[in-house]
Every structure is written in structure tokens, then in C-alpha cells.
Amino acid sequence: MSSTLSLLEEEFNFVGKRVPKYDAAQKVAGAAKYMIDLKLPGMLYGKILRSRYPHARILSIDKTKAEQLPGVIAVITAKDVPRIRFGFMKDNMPLKEEFVLSCRDEIAAVAAVDEETAERAIELIEVEYEPLPALFDPLKAMENGAPILHRELKSNVVDLGLNFKKGDVSEPFRSSEYVVVEGTYRIGFITHTALGTMGALAHYEPSGMLNIWANTQSPFLYQRELAQALGIDPSRVRVIQPSIGGSFGRGMDLYPPDIIASLLSMKTLRPVKILFRRDEDLANSPTRQPAIFKIKTAATMEGKLVARSVEAILDVGPYISWGAFDARVMMATATGQYVVPNVEFTSKHVYTNNPYSGTMRGAGNPQINFAIETQMDILSEKLGIDPVEFRIMNANRPGYVTPQGMRITTCSMEETLRIAEREIGWRGRHKAGKSVGIGFASLFHVAGGARVYRSDGCGTIVKLDDFGTVTVITGASEIGTGSDTAITQIVAEELSIPLSKVRLVNDDASVRPWDVGIHASRMTFVGGNSALMAARKAKEKLLRLASEYLQERYEDLRIKDGMIFSKRNSSKSVEYDKLLRRAHFREGGDVIVASHFYDPPNQMADEKTQSGNISATYGFGTQAVLVEVDEETGKVTVKKVVAVHDAGRIINPLGAEGQVQGGIVMAMSWALTEELILDGGLVVNNSLADYKLPTAAEIPDIKVIFVGEPDPEGPFGAKGVGEHGCIPTAAAIANAIYDAVCVRLYELPMTPERVLKAIKNSKAS
Amino acid sequence: MSSTLSLLEEEFNFVGKRVPKYDAAQKVAGAAKYMIDLKLPGMLYGKILRSRYPHARILSIDKTKAEQLPGVIAVITAKDVPRIRFGFMKDNMPLKEEFVLSCRDEIAAVAAVDEETAERAIELIEVEYEPLPALFDPLKAMENGAPILHRELKSNVVDLGLNFKKGDVSEPFRSSEYVVVEGTYRIGFITHTALGTMGALAHYEPSGMLNIWANTQSPFLYQRELAQALGIDPSRVRVIQPSIGGSFGRGMDLYPPDIIASLLSMKTLRPVKILFRRDEDLANSPTRQPAIFKIKTAATMEGKLVARSVEAILDVGPYISWGAFDARVMMATATGQYVVPNVEFTSKHVYTNNPYSGTMRGAGNPQINFAIETQMDILSEKLGIDPVEFRIMNANRPGYVTPQGMRITTCSMEETLRIAEREIGWRGRHKAGKSVGIGFASLFHVAGGARVYRSDGCGTIVKLDDFGTVTVITGASEIGTGSDTAITQIVAEELSIPLSKVRLVNDDASVRPWDVGIHASRMTFVGGNSALMAARKAKEKLLRLASEYLQERYEDLRIKDGMIFSKRNSSKSVEYDKLLRRAHFREGGDVIVASHFYDPPNQMADEKTQSGNISATYGFGTQAVLVEVDEETGKVTVKKVVAVHDAGRIINPLGAEGQVQGGIVMAMSWALTEELILDGGLVVNNSLADYKLPTAAEIPDIKVIFVGEPDPEGPFGAKGVGEHGCIPTAAAIANAIYDAVCVRLYELPMTPERVLKAIKNSKAS
């Protein structure tokens, strides 16, 4: 990577500049095509019949009346389709045959000429059930004697082996030399609430090709999983991503609607779209994995952390998703966010009859961070040490290797704390004013890919044409984070050509080289590096052509603003597009195509020891939050957030700031108001009137500051940042609430009711 | 190319096999998407107002009423759009402002919510004209004093310099030692009559990208020309080819409908489709260039050709197209089809007020072949030599270089004649029976690309995925000829994997590497070679992986039926897709992407001398035709055609036979019945009831035989053949008519009226 670093001394044209999103014009004008905009000739509309009970035996299904309804083209149940298990643990079926395990379980589906007909047909399907006792509490589901939801298993607890131990925690916890704190933290149900609701459009063609427009984050894994779920050759599945209106992690898994749309299309040979209405989306989309953490931490009287143990219990609902990996991310933070020599982490995934969960932005880190960082606050107070100083004392630093083997390279954790402290105006505990408080929380997260799959790579093909257009066919997916903008900046920078000359192709996966997907804040880092290196290969070819044309040595050539010139004799120059045409339009001509597959230098965690340097580099940050608490109502108002993040060199400050701001707002919502309310396993607040997201008026003053040095492995020194903004916010708010009104909250969301109750309990005790 | 030839000894899996078309299932099931099937949300329908006169001055245009019609979104005239000249000679404008030069000249255009509204709006546009005298006869248009159609020029005759001379023809023509024949031949108006009518769908997006779905044969030239015609950066034009229902040469040029659809979309920011109805297609599409040939040939008494002169006068209508190059193809046949030491060719392109012409399958060769090959028949009879023997005496042979410098490599011309003679049952002149006759005609045509543009190349990107799918992103366009099927066979053969694992991407030009277009029978040869060499690079990478995995030397490895094994130890083997996954799914993993740009070793003709080896190899053939002539009515019935073609190794006999058969039927139609009838420059028979194409019942017995050896430059030895079938048919029919009823026809089509008139004249004289 020496040639990247050599560029750091230069003036950049695009890197570090505030560049509007690549697709901004299209989106602002309403011209971007989202799932809702897609319409194919002859397209049918699919609807799904879901279970009436959270847990039941299906006695019979009668679809006769539905089939007779005019406009209905197909009605399918499990009996009409291949019985193939799918999902992260192959514990799910697209249509359930004997047992339903949640209120959202899919029983039958209809394809009809319009949405209304499909809905009426769904109502005409008659199902007889035998209701069975349901489990909504993971602790109860773990008890001996609890009904077993998956009959083929022996327990509702799935041990995925995501446990880790280094050193010995028991001795420090017993020792009177140390200060020990412990607590139990609870995270409730929320869902991703992306602007674009869930759905898919499947078109199975007579040729045997299945074309599927999907809101997936991982088109290449999706291709394989969908093919397997349908029992067809993955070579016959073509995945196309339309514009995606946010995804936030739920696009990592394959869910039943996509399989059902495909099955309906295979049956009808017509395009079939299933797209959730907002109420369906709130009720039937995956959730962030609800969690219970039991955490215990010991520190010396001087404030050095000595031991920490974390027990995580995760409610997965009836089916396990990529959310299973959240436990591994929780483990990394529990054991690695601060220097702690003795650590222990255990996790249990528990089946219940609740809605199934998925993974969500931060992949477990926001949840564990809430617990760890509020406990850090408690511990620092117990030790009588300033919370910022306490964190600095125990912070990661370059060269440190965490107990799991994660190698810290660039790291400005201390700087993020010092700047956050200064910018928020911290003067010490309980000094912000009456009912006003300041809280801090830091974060540690992957920022150089995350090898959670056997490949963490991304491929790019770069094609230069006679007009100087650089077409970048990238494996990288765009779900609204702005990674494609960063990629175009990187390519334009490397080739030193106008940004307008870079065209990105990232919709049709069948023409794109492989990529594992957009998750773990990896896209700009991994996709950016892949694009950078492909562009570099193209540049080399371009400079070879220039060397021949200008009769100058390759080493003496430079490209700047689309001109290639000799460093020794700047009067010798040529426009890059002219050179392309000259190489092309001659006998024995050639055009420039280059490709690169970048697989970051990281490791897959060892399955037994859970050790391995999972990311090629790591990101750090601290958020300081100023809140005001209404002691009469318990309402918490976030007045200001200072977010200081180390994400290496920022490719696009406009985009990166937006990512951090969006993360903070999302986390604030989750921390204070947002919660799926369940009644007997059924989501009852499935409207945006009842599911409380913040409005523009509730957004606090947010100041985003980037610190840190260019990362030697990152493209032009960049590290990932997409998820980082949402990680420490909840803990910082909780710590600020404590700073304001001296009550600790152990459960999210911190609604006015819970805050008020805590205040009352505090006053009572 | 030695490694290709080394394969010739091997058993082929796919090459030489009768493989159904790649898109057969889609097309048979009606699932292929042609222009008529395309529909975008918010799409508008465009219609064009054309001139009422073949030649007139436009005095005024009033579009007020049209604009007021509900449902009309835009009405444009020349005043509303940039004045940019376009076309092969930049002699055309999308909308005419001051003068109209033909009845199809475009004056205004409408975009409306449906087709009917657009048509009604067109009728509401009021145009005042001053009619001007019109020129319909190119000979009259050449006269001094004829009105000049393009006011800025001095003459209606455009001399493109497409003239050639070698040796001296005047001496042989004067000498009494030689037999000299001369004649004048006339070719009327026909049009391509593709199943898919002409049209385009343009979608200009707020981002500034113009997406255009076009029936073009040359997406990359089209991209540049369309952008220039619109005055925008070609980088902002994305050309997508839907399934194309035939094109036959008319897709080489950019015509006004595509520009007008784009202008309407730019004005409305909505998708706009202009698609001709059948009557519009017949009336307003380009025509095969009508021609007058004056030909003179001298031979020794022994039958050796000594001299030939050809004067070609081509009626281009008011605008010049790629059809201009037809003169160069005519030149090649006139001077190179037989060994003639002294040759002279001149051509004149004449502007008239007739419909404008384009290029059409064979690019001038069918027309000149009709003249040359009927004159060969006349000459042989005059010499008292059998027409087959006469052709053999003067035939091209390997190693010959034509006067223009075309280097004959593989050539089985003599064999095609001998086999045709035998298969048709030739027993000498006038021995076929009463009113029954046999005729022969041979052909000479490019078969290894044709460098009529500065690049004759084609690029391919090959991408291998974890499922063993080989995605071939090819520059090659498919217009129904089957070249894409051949390309998939070539790739599957080279990699020795199942055909079903090869997926072709040739729709969206923005992701494809450059190609000059599908014309000159070049696609299987050039696109096939490009794909072959890209696949070979991929195979090399695959074998390197196998070498590492199997611990065998690279040289000792072979791939067969998807297995890579050691030639020395066949028990050591691995599936190719397993190898791909193994290389990918590991730390530091990689995927296989390879690309190649193949530019054939041919030359662009020198502009002054018209010399150069324009094609990397050439094709040859002979057709023998058996006809029956009804002497009462003049009706000619083709009973049998034997078509013997040298096209090297045939990649797909099913497809190649279909191409030859289709060519014969097309040429038979042109020879006997097909003609656009004009009245004052207006096409009056613009319906398929009046424009006479053959029905299935009229198709003769056709026997296709391929001869010749594998060509060393062709992919697996293949040469081009797409146009060849249509070249000699008309002459063979004319010669057979003479053989049957002793009358010579000098004009096409040889309608019953013309044949009867010739018979009556013959009897009268």
C-alpha cells in the first residue's frame, strides 16, 4: 500500500471533499426506482396469509374459495411447493405445514391481478388450528419443562459456541482489593423501519432463469440461499437490486416473502411482487434481537480494569438469523473495547414464540455498548474517577492486541474522549445544571471489513471507453449509506479525471464481481479498496500508452485533471480520453478493461477459541450528550450531541457526517421512544402513529468531528464508519440522565414512564 | 492461433453441434422483450408529423391546436430543439426547418399519454408549404440544370471517392481478340421489413443520463452519434438493446425517430417511445439503395477474364447513410470475385426526393452480384463454355491477392461449384425440361470482419462465479442471427463446461466492452474470437489454480466436461467449480475475471487507392437454382435451391443453415416479387397485403451444404456466413429463367409482368 500513502502528501481532487450523493439528483427528483416503483408487464401482486396464533398446530387449510375468486391466479400452501428448509440455521420453511411458531408465520400465499383481490383471497383461505401454549419470555423458554418449539431439538436454547474466556475472572471478582460492579440490562423489541418496506419482485422466465429484484444487502449470498430454498441451480438466479430505501441489517437474511414471490412466479410464469404495506412492515419484519445482559466488572482502586464477565441471552423468536453473529460482535466489545486482562463472555440464543429477530445496524454493538458503557460510568463514580479519565486510563492504543486477537493499528480513542469532553463543555459530574446532565460513551467497532463469512472480499471491473467514461462494475451494494459516492470519488481521484466521468454499475449482480454484502461498515473500506486497485491497474495501462505516445519513461509520467504529462517536461502532455481513442482506433487496437478482487487482510475467528483478527483495522469514537430531564413527566430531551469519531481519512465528509448523524438519531429513538409492543406475540403498535420515531423537530443539535490519521490499509487512508454513529448514543444518554437526575436506567427504551418510575423509586429509597 | 488449431484434432463437445438458439425458450414462449413489449412507468408515446410533399419549402408551422389537445405533453418542431446536423455525411436534421426533401421528412413530433392522442395531435398541426419540383430519377438528378436539393452543395451527385482502377480496361475492350459483353442492370426499391418495426424508447433522467432502448446494430457508434445529435456528452448516453426482431442492416445508422424520442424525453423528463406501426415501417424505413449498374466484361476466347468495368449509380434519396459503403462492397465483388487483371469501378451517390436508403444485408453485394453473375452467364454462353467450368476457370484460389489487395487464404470456391453442379443435377444448358431451367451464381464476401471503421474489434469480459456460471459480457450484438448462441458454444467448448453454465450479457452497452456492431457477417468471427480468447485467459487462471491444488504441472493439466485432471495421472482431478470456490473462500481469496479485446488482422482500405486487405478471411459459395416459368403468365416458381457455402468450420450447423435459408428466401423475395411502389416519392403499397413477401407455402426446397476447411484465424476455424446466403440467389434465379425460357432479365424484381414482357419481346424479335 506504499503507493497509496505516497499520495497522502498530495493535494486531493475529490477525496476529503463534500460531494453530493452519486444518485442525489435521481432521488431528489423522484426518479430513482425503488421496489414500489417497479412494474413489469403482466405483473401479479402477492399476499401472504399469516398465523392467527403464536403457537399452534395446523389442522387443515382450505383454499377452495380463494382459488375461485376472479382475478386470483394462484394460491399456494406448503403442499404445493418443495419442502426445503432455509435460513441461517435451516430452521425455517417459506410456508409452514404442521406447526406455526409465531403470529407472523406464513401459511399460504396468493398471486392475483391486483393487491385488493390478493387481500380478499387471503381472507377466503380457511385454516383450522389447534392452539398450543406459547413462550414469550426467553428466561421461561430456557426452563426445564418448557414446551420445545422445534420438535426435532432437545431444548429451546441454541448454543452456537459463541463463548469466550481468557484469564480468570473468578479470582478478581472475589478479591476485596478490587471494586466490583454488576448489573442486568434489558433491550426490548424494535424493528428497522426502513423507508422502503420489505418486499421482492420475482420473475421466473420460460428459459428457466429466475430474475429477482430484491432489497438484499448481500446479493451474492442471497442468490445462493434463494436458489437452495427453491431447489434450483444458483446459476439460474439473477439478483437485481433496485434503489433501496434503507435496510439497516435486515437485508442480510433471506426471508419468506422473497421465496414466496419466487414460488408464485414459478407457478404462474408471471412476474409477482410482494411488497409490505407500512403496517405489514412494522408487524412482520425482523426485529433487533432483544437481549438480557448480566455484566460484572472489576477494577483496581487506581482505576485499571481487571476483569469482566458478560452473559448474553438473546431472544431470537422462532428462527435464527444472521443476528446470531451479533453475539460475536457483543463479545468483541465486551472483551476488547477496553484493556481488560481477564474476560469471560457467554451467549445463549433462545427460541420463543415472539417475532423472529434479524441483525440490525451495529450488529449487537449498540446493545452491549449500552450495558458496558453505563457500567463504566457506574464504576468510575464508585472509584471516584472522572468518567472521561477512567476511559482514557483503560483505552485501546495502537499496537494493542485484544484478548480475542484483534490487532489495533490506527487508534485515536484518547483523542476522541478529550475532544468530546472539551466540545460538550464538561466540568465534572452533576455540574451541568438543574435537571440537565452530560453523559459520555465510547465505542470500538470493526472498520476494515469483518470476516464473518469465508470471504470478506469485493470485486471490481473497470472499463474505460472512447469518451473517457470510466464504468465501475462493482460488487459493492448501496443501501443509502453513500458508499457508491465514496467509490466514485476514489476512482476519480486515482485516475485524476472528473467525477462526472465515473459511472457506477451496482444493480444487476449477474454482471458484478462477487462481494459478501454491505454490512459491518465495510463497503467504503473493502469496496473502495477494490475499486482503487482496479483503477490503479487501469491507470498503469493508461500510463503505458502515454509512455509510448509521449516517448517518455513510464516512471516520469503523471496524470492530473485528465491530462497525462511528463514530470520532466510538462509541455509533453496528452488528454487521457484522446489516448484511449488512439489506442483503440487503429489496426491491432485495444481498449482498457481492468479488474481487481480485494480481500482484506483479516481473519475468520477460530470456531473453537473465537480468536482472530476479524477486521483489517478498527474504528473508535466517543459521543458526549447533553440532556434535559423533565422530573414531572420523566421525559428526556436530548439537547446536544458531540460525536467524535476516528474513521481514518474521511473520503466524503458530507456523507460520513450524514452517516453519523443518522446513526445518532436512530439510536436516540431506540434509546428513548421506539419499541414494538407485543400482545400474545402480536405486534399491536404497527403504525407510525403508535411506533414512536422522532420527527425533525426532535432532532438535537449534533456536532460531528472526525479525528485520527489515515489508515495504512484503507483506501486513501479511510476506515469504515457506517454503523459507528449509532453505537454509543444510548449509553451516553443514559449516563447523561444519571448526571441530570441521579437515576440509573437498565432497560431500553428509556421512556418517560420508566424514567419517572426510576425517579420515584430513587426518591423513595 | 496454434492452440486453436491444436484443438481441431480433438473431439468437440459443442462446436459443430446443432444447438438451439440461446434465447429460443424465451422467444418461443413469448417472453423475450422486444421494443413493443417495453413499458416504463409514466411512459409517453411519440408520433412524428411528416411532409405532405416530396420537395417543398416550409412556410409556417402552427402547433397551437395540437398543444391544446388534452393528453398531449409536448409538441416540438425544429425551433424547439438544437439545430445539429447528423447522419453519415451530416446532411440530415431530426426535424426539418426550411426545406423538406422527401415525403417522409420529419417536421414536428408529439409526446402524449397514449398513441391515439399522439396521432390526433399530429393531425392538428398545421403546416403551410410551398411545393417545389421534385427529382425521382437519379439520372435526371445528375443532369445539369436539375434543382439542387441540398442548397449548400453544387450538385446532387456526391462523389465519395469510391472509385478503383487497376491495369487498363480500354485496350481489352477495343481488342478483337476478346469476347466483350456489356449490359445495364437496375435494382428497385425494397425495404428491410424486419418483424420488429423501427423505434426507440428514450428516458432522460434528472441526473442527466439518457437511457435509450434501441434496435441498433451498433450500440457504441450509436451512443456517440446520438449524443452528438443531441449536443450532450456521450458519457451520459446509456444504450440498451432489447430483443431485436431482425434488422438486416438498417440498424447501422441513426435515424430521426431515435433522436426525436430523446428530444421529447429531454423536454418532458418522462420516458417516450416511438414505435412504427407496420404501415409506418414500410413507408418510412430506409430502403436498400436502388442502383443502376453499367457493366462491361472481356474474356479471351479460351475463357479467361481479361477486363471488367463497372459504373454504379446509387439513389440515396435525400440523405446519405452507411449504405454509402455499399459501393465499396460492390467494388470488391466487381474487381475481386473472379481473377480479372484489368478492372475499373466508379460509383456515384445521387441525391433525389425518393425515400432515403440505408444499407441492407450483404451491403451492396446482392445487387452487384446480380449484375456480375448474370453477365458471367451471358459471357460463358457467348464463349461456348459451360457456366460452371467458366467460373472455375476464373475462380479465386488460396494465395490469390485481388487487385484491391484482398488476400485469399482458405478458399473452396471450386468445390462449391462442383458440388452445386452435382447436387442440382446439371446436365448442360437448356436440358432441365420444358419451361424449367437451372441457373448458377457464386459469391465472394468478407468473412473475417470488415474494417470499414477505424476499429473492427470486439471486447469480452468473462466472469466465473462460485456456482461455475461463466458470465460472458460481450460487445457483440444479437439481432436474431444466432451469433450469441455461437459465442456461448465457443466459451463452453474452450472451458469444456456445460452450455447451460454460460450466460451471455449483451443488452446494456454501458457494461459491455466496445464492439463496432453486427454487420458484414462479422459477429461470430470477431465476437467469437474475442470470447474465445477471454475464455482462454480464464482457463489459464483456472489451470494455474488446479496446478496448485492437484500439485501437477500446468502443462500436464486438461479440462474436460467441467473436470480438471492430470494427463499423466487421471485419478488426480477436481471439479472446476469446486476450484473456483476454493480459490475464493479463503483468506486472501480471489475470483476469476478475464477480458480480451480482439481486433482482427485486417486493414482499412486506403482512402485514395481503395486498396487494403479489408477482412481477415473471405467466404465463398455457389447457389444452384431450379425454376419453372409459366410462359402464359410470366410467373417464376423456384422449385429447388442448392446452396454450397465455404464458411470454414461451422460452429452451429442449425444456426448457419438457418442463416443461409433465411438469406435465400429473402433474396428470392427481392428477386421475384418484393418492391416498394412509389408515387411522387410516396410509398403507396405500405401494407403486407400489397408489399409481396413469400409465405411459407412459397418457400422452395433448400439444401444447404457447407464445405471448406477450418480457417486458421477463425474461432475454432469458423468464418462468417450471416449475409452470404442472400448474395447469389437473384442471379442464380435469373440465370435459371434464361435456362428455362431463353430470356434475360436486367431489372429486379423479376415480376410476372417483366418476365412475360421479356418473353413477348423475345418471341417478337
Tens digits of residue pLDDT in A680-698: 999 999 999 999 999 999 9
The domain made up of B2-32+457-598 is a member of CATH 3.40.50.720:
no
The grid cell for A670 is 431506540
The grid cell for B476 is 457483440
Q: Distance between CA B386 and CA B380 in Å, rounded?
A: 6
CB contact under 8 A, B587 and A451: yes
pLDDT tens per residue across span B597-609: 999 999 999 999 9
Residue A401: pLDDT band by 50, 70, 90 thresholds? Answer: very high
pLDDT tens per residue across span B8-24: 445 899 999 999 999 99
Do the beta carbons of residue A649 and residue A617 sit within 8 Å?
Answer: no
Min CA distance, A475 vs chain B (Å)? 12
Min CA distance, B603 vs chain A (Å)? 7
CB contact under 8 A, A511 and B588: no
The grid cell for B39 is 413499458
CB contact under 8 A, B584 and A37: no
pLDDT at position B4 over 50 = no
The grid cell for A240 is 437485481
Do the beta carbons of residue A169 and residue A649 sit within 8 Å?
Answer: no
Res B11: pLDDT = 83
Q: Distance between CA A647 and CA A649 in Å, rounded?
A: 6
Give the orientation angle of helix B729-741 with respect to helix B365-383, to 10 degrees: 30
What value, to the nearest 5°, has the Cα angle with vertex B494 and ends B488 and B499?
Answer: 35
Q: What are phi and psi of B359, to 5 degrees?
A: -105, 160
CB contact under 8 A, B585 and A455: yes
pLDDT tens per residue across span A556-589: 999 999 999 999 998 999 999 999 999 999 999 9
Min CA distance, B541 vs chain A (Å)? 14
Res B10: pLDDT = 58
Q: Is B324 helix (H, G, I), strand (E, B) or coil?
A: helix
Q: Distance between CA A734 and CA A722 in Å, rounded?
A: 23
Residue B765: pLDDT band by 50, 70, 90 thresholds? Answer: confident
pLDDT tens per residue across span A76-102: 999 999 999 999 999 999 999 999 999
Res A325: pLDDT = 87
Q: Distance between CA A649 and CA A657 in Å, rounded?
A: 13
What value, to the nearest 5°, has the Cα angle with vertex A86 and ends A480 and A362?
Answer: 35
CB contact under 8 A, B601 and A587: yes
pLDDT tens per residue across span B98-143: 999 999 999 999 999 999 999 999 999 999 999 999 999 999 999 9
Min CA distance, A502 vs chain B (Å)? 9
Of all helices (H) and strands (E), which one includes residue A128? Answer: strand A126-131
pLDDT at position B150 over 50 = yes
Among B21, B36, B31, residue whose Cα is nearest residue B196: B36
Contacts of A454 in chain B (CB under 8 A): 584-586, 589
Residue among B41, B587, B591 minimizing CB distance to A514: B591
Of all helices (H) and strands (E), which one includes residue B541? Answer: helix B528-550
CB contact under 8 A, A586 and B25: no
Q: Distance between CA B645 and CA B664 in Å, rounded?
A: 12
Residue among B28, B593, B597 minimizing CB distance to A461: B593
Chain B residue with minimal CA distance to A39?
Answer: B41
Residue among B224, B459, B601 minimizing CB distance to A591: B459
Residue A432: pLDDT band by 50, 70, 90 thresholds? Answer: very high
Do the beta carbons of residue B510 and residue A471 sit within 8 Å?
Answer: yes
pLDDT at position B763 over 60 = yes
For range A476-492, the mean pLDDT: 97
Cis peptide before B749 (omega within 30 of 0): yes
Residue A10: pLDDT band by 50, 70, 90 thresholds? Answer: low
Min CA distance, A450 vs chain B (Å)? 12
pLDDT at position A2 over 80 = no
A35-132+193-284, superfamily in CATH? Aldehyde oxidase/xanthine dehydrogenase, a/b hammerhead (3.90.1170.50)
CB contact under 8 A, A602 and B590: no
Of all helices (H) and strands (E), which one includes residue B293? Answer: strand B291-299
Question: To which residue does cell 450528550 refer?
Answer: A625
**Helices and strands counted in chain B (H then E):** 19, 33
List alpha helices for B20-164, DSSP H. 24-28, 64-68, 115-124, 138-141
What is the secondary structure of A617-677 as a DSSP string?
Answer: SEEEEEEEEEEEE-TTT--EEEEEEEEEEE-BS-S-HHHHHHHHHHHHHHHHHHHHT----
Contacts of B37 in chain A (CB under 8 A): 41
Residue among A505, A514, A601 minimizing CB distance to B584: A514
Do the beta carbons of residue A716 and residue A710 sit within 8 Å?
Answer: yes
Chain A residue with minimal CA distance to B450?
Answer: A587
Does the fold of domain A287-451+605-764 match that of domain A2-32+457-598? yes
Q: Is B387 helix (H, G, I), strand (E, B) or coil?
A: helix
Contacts of A590 in chain B (CB under 8 A): 457, 597, 599
pLDDT tens per residue across span A162-171: 999 999 999 9
Q: Distance between CA A525 and CA A705 in Å, rounded?
A: 20
Chain A residue with minimal CA distance to B464?
Answer: A513
Q: What is the ipTM of this complex?
A: 0.94
Q: Which residues on adjacent β-strands are paired with residue A631?
A: none
For range A23-51, the mean pLDDT: 95
Mean pLDDT, chain A, whole residue set: 96
Mutation test of the interface with chain B: which of A204, A222, A455, A500, choosing the one with the most B Cβ atoms within 10 A? A455
The grid cell for B442 is 457464386
- Is the CA virtual torsion B487, B490, B494, B495 positive or negative? positive
Residue among A454, A463, A601 minimizing CB distance to B586: A454
Contacts of A593 in chain B (CB under 8 A): 459, 461, 513, 595, 597
What is the secondary structure of B655-701 as a DSSP string?
Answer: HHHHHHHHHHHHHHHHHHT----EETTEES--STTTS-PPPGGGPPE
Res B3: pLDDT = 38
pLDDT at position A490 over 80 = yes
Residue among A451, A589, A601 minimizing CB distance to B599: A589
Q: Distance between CA A582 and CA A576 in Å, rounded?
A: 10
Residues 6+ apart with CB under 8 A from A116: none
CB contact under 8 A, A461 and B461: yes
Question: To which residue does cell 441451480 refer?
Answer: A233
Residues 6+ apart with CB under 8 A from A713: A1, A409, A448, A529, A600, A601, A616, A617
Among B501, B512, B503, residue whose Cα is nearest residue B474: B512
Mutation test of the interface with chain B: which of A207, A238, A500, choosing the one with the most B Cβ atoms within 10 A? A207
For range B576-585, the mean pLDDT: 97
Do the beta carbons of residue B740 and residue B432 sit within 8 Å?
Answer: yes
CB contact under 8 A, B597 and A593: yes
pLDDT at position A550 over 50 = yes
Among B616, B661, B603, B330, residue whose Cα is nearest residue B447: B616
**pTM here?**
0.96
Q: What share of chain A is helix, strand, coil (3-state, %, to 5)?
A: 30, 25, 40
Q: What share of chain B is helix, strand, coil (3-state, %, to 5)?
A: 30, 25, 40
Of all helices (H) and strands (E), which one includes residue B165? Answer: strand B164-166
Domain boundaries, chain B: 2-32+457-598, 35-132+193-284, 287-451+605-764
For range A720-732, the mean pLDDT: 98
pLDDT above 70 covers a percentage of chain A that reads: 99
pLDDT at position A453 over 60 = yes
Res B325: pLDDT = 87
Question: To which residue does cell 438466479 refer?
Answer: A237
Res B124: pLDDT = 98
pLDDT at position A509 over 60 = yes
CB contact under 8 A, A513 and B463: yes
The grid cell for B59 is 412556410
Chain A residue with minimal CA distance to B460?
Answer: A593
Q: Virtual CA dihedral for A696, A698, A699, A701, nearest 10 degrees?
A: 130
Min CA distance, A239 vs chain B (Å)? 14
Can you list the positions of beta strands (E) in A427-515? 436-446, 458-464, 470-474, 502-505
Q: Distance between CA B516 and CA B454 in Å, rounded?
A: 9
Half-sphere exposure (Cβ direction) of A328: Cα atoms closer than 13 Å: 27
Question: To which residue does cell 445521387 refer?
Answer: B350
pLDDT at position A765 over 90 = no
Residue B391: pLDDT band by 50, 70, 90 thresholds? Answer: very high
HEC string of A568-620 equals CCCCCEEEHHHHHHHHHCCCCCCCCEEEEEECCCCCCCCCCCCCCCCCCCEEE
pLDDT at position B199 over 90 = yes
For range A291-302, the mean pLDDT: 98
Min CA distance, A754 vs chain B (Å)? 48
Do the beta carbons of residue A78 and residue A95 sit within 8 Å?
Answer: yes
Res B741: pLDDT = 98
pLDDT at position A732 over 80 = yes
The grid cell for A593 is 478493461
Name the architecture of domain B287-451+605-764: 2-Layer Sandwich (3.30)
CB contact under 8 A, B466 and A514: yes
CB pairs under 8 A between A and B: 167
Q: Distance between CA B337 and CA B34 in Å, rounded?
A: 38
**Type of residue at A600:** P
Do the beta carbons of residue A353 and residue A285 sit within 8 Å?
Answer: no
